[in-house]
Amino acid sequence: DEQYHLVHKQYHPTYRDILYARNYYDIFFFDLGGNLIYSVYKELDYATNFLADGPGEWKDSGLGKAFRAAVANPDGINVIDWEPYGPSYGALASFLSTGVRRAGELIGVFCTQLPPEFTPRNSSARLETGTQEMNK
């Protein structure tokens, strides 16, 4: 829809730049209904649902685990260990996730997908820095 395209045009370059600077494989945003509403690369998982009891094909994947971990622990950095991820052609992926708040209220989930060549040292510190950059 038109509203989505206007917002996408405004923010996509920033998220894409963060992805390149941090060497993430992808960056995702979910609404609290488990819907994947933003992805830099928009692979097969884009616009699908990740609720545990939802209809989404990828709900049991690492990204699904990352979404649910961030809803359960929105103020922490949640680390989902390496496993093959179908929408990325079965490549190994690890996910970092955290809650997104507006005026103190949880409104969604921010998640990054780490590529197989990523060095896991300080992963949560990198996510913390990335989220701080986006909030500027």
pLDDT of residue 119: 62
For 21-65, how does the pLDDT look when each residue is reduced to its tens digit (9 = 90+)?
A: 999 999 999 999 999 999 999 999 999 999 999 999 999 999 999
pLDDT of residue 118: 82
pTM: 0.85
Say if residues 89 and 25 touch (Cβ distance below 8 Å).
Answer: no
pLDDT of residue 55: 94
Ordered alpha helix ranges (H), the chain: 2-22, 62-72, 123-134
Burial class of residue 117, CB neighbours in 10 A (0-12, 13-18, 19+) = exposed
